[in-house]
Amino acid sequence: MKCDKCDKPAVVHEVVIRGGVKKELHLCADHAMQEGIAMPQQQPIDQLLTKFVTSKSNEKNPAEELSCDGCGLPFREFRKRGILGCPDCYEVFVEQLEPLISRAQNGACHHTGSIPSQAGASIDRQLIIRQLADELDSAVAAEQYERAAELRDQLDHLKLHGPELED
């Protein structure tokens, strides 16, 4: 059966009674979420996330105006979908994410598992890569194509041969 609002398959089937009139609802995952209907197979933590996300929406919150400088994701958007846009989001939205993550993780708020083998050296490289990427964007915007090609080569090299930077 198709979703009432689009062509995707309906996964949520509900009977709602509004003003004494019985109405059947058949919705896909996305539209069910928009209507605020919980999915039958949804995991508790997803529900927790949705609840957290929607309960905050009624408050006047300065986080409302925040957006990530790394990827441009507005916090509003995260609240709607529960998905972050880039690694930087974890820093920009840290105050909003802390209580959410700790609640979902039984109070834990620090990683104690394995770490990448190049964790130390990588932080600098990440910075350089971001700077280069910014430069590349402005070079393209300014139609400096030779410069852009140069930057792209540098970026590709860094992304592929990252570890070499250390020696």
The residues of the shown chain that bind Zn ion, judged by CB under 5 A, are 3, 5-6, 8, 28, 31, 68, 70-71, 73, 85-86, 88-89
Write the Ramachandran bin of 107: left for phi over 0, alpha for psi from -120 to 50, otherwise beta.
left
| Least distance to another protein, CB of residue 44, Å | 6
Which of these ranges, 19-27, 57-65, 116-124, 137-145, lies near another protein under the rule CB under 8 A?
A: 116-124
Contact call for residue 43 and another protein (CB under 8 A):
yes
Under 8 Å between Cβ of 133 and 152: no
How many angstroms separate the CA atoms of 125 and 117, rounded?
Answer: 14
Distance set, CA 68 to CA 74, 77, 94, 160 (Å): 6, 11, 11, 26
Output the six-digit token pair for 106. Answer: 């039984």
Under 8 Å between Cβ of 33 and 49: no
Q: Which one among 107, 143, 146, 167 touches another protein, defined by CB under 8 A?
A: 107
SS3 25: strand
Build a one-symbol-per-residue string for 68-87: x at contacts with another protein by CB under 8 A, - elsewhere.
Answer: --xxxx-------xxxxxxx
Contact call for residue 99 and another protein (CB under 8 A):
no
Binding site for another protein (CB under 8 A): 41, 43-46, 49, 70-73, 81-87, 90-91, 97, 100-101, 104-119, 122, 125-126, 129-130, 133, 159-160, 162-163
